Amino acid sequence: MVGRQQVIDFLIELQERICRQLEALDNVKFNIDRWQREPGAKGLSGGGDSRVLYGETFEQAGVNFSHVHGAQLPSAATHNRPELVGRSFEAMGVSLVIHPRNPYVPTSHANVRFFIADKPGEEPVWWFGGGFDLTPFYPFDEDVRHWHQVAHDLCQPFGATRYAEHKRWCDEYFYLPHRGETRGVGGLFFDDLCQPDFATCFAYMQAVGEGFTRGYLPIVLRRMDMDYGERERQFQLYRRGRYVEFNLVYDRGTLFGLQSGGRTESILMSMPPLARWQYGYQSEPGSAESRLLDYLTAQDWLSISKEN
């Protein structure tokens, strides 16, 4: 049995819990924007709760909950599943992106989502998706190991191969072909999850959602008070440009939202508040900035032995 209300209740509670944790760390409250929309030209209706924080630790942190209905799945959702073309859909999820102020604190993203595609006279088709990933500018090996250890451990109840499979999926998904580099040091990514049953898939989605803060907040606490200067800040803004490139060109969630007629402000809340591009940028050989390129490729982070 598909427990739609169970998923909705969990997502609302997850958003609230994550927001409370971020507020406590930065001592700043989220701005809350609860919204509803009537069916538009593309038949999309529903509502959500978009929350944005502007603080000293988090230059911008956005944590969204949405629950929408649509008359037809957009191409971003049916590209790999043509049998779903023409079905109406219900989509719900929590999505967050955190852009810290200190360049030594990584940017991070997470989302968990649930879709149901309906067609009269047929059984609904449902699936879960989500994951989390980490995008450092000045990587620290202990941070990367910790991040992946949390991911590994939460996957263990769901099979010995789950971490390796969803880590690899994350490495492959968060990749910029035109740059020849990953967006960061990865994490977990999954989509179209519907086996073996609803209860197991829902439990995994919950584990991923709840694991995000266990992985991320200890890293923030280690790095948020480190001294930095204009050089580090400018490098951070330059690397944020890569984040924008991925989200606007490749990210399926962004494309799904825009193609389905979703709420633009909420969809583009993932963009950093400031970013820059520089023609032909080259980091100085042997510099802290040049080190980053060593991390922008898929690796076995649990066995990493380099020291900062």
Q: Could you list the residues known to form a binding site for a divalent metal cation, using ranges.
A: 99, 109, 148, 178
Residue numbers in the known binding site are 95, 99, 109, 111-113, 148, 178, 261-263
Backbone angles phi, psi at 115, to 5 degrees: -125, 145
Beta bridge partners of 52: 31, 62
Say if CB 263 and CB 35 are below 8 A apart: yes
Say if CB 68 and CB 48 are below 8 A apart: yes
Active site residue 152: no
Distance CA 127, CA 95 (A): 17
Residue numbers in the known binding site for substrate are 95, 111-113, 261-263
Tokens of 290: 């040049």
Helices (H), 38-181: 75-78, 141-155, 162-173
Say if CB 220 and CB 105 are below 8 A apart: yes
Distance CA 98, CA 260 (A): 24
Tokens of 210: 């709840």
Residue identified by tokens 């991390």 is 295
Residue identified by tokens 């969990």 is 10
Helices (H), the chain: 4-26, 75-78, 141-155, 162-173, 198-223, 230-249, 252-259, 264-267, 288-291
Nearest to 247 by CA among 173, 164, 157: 173
- Of residues 109, 146, 152, 166, which has the active-site annotation? 109
Annotated catalytic residues are: 109
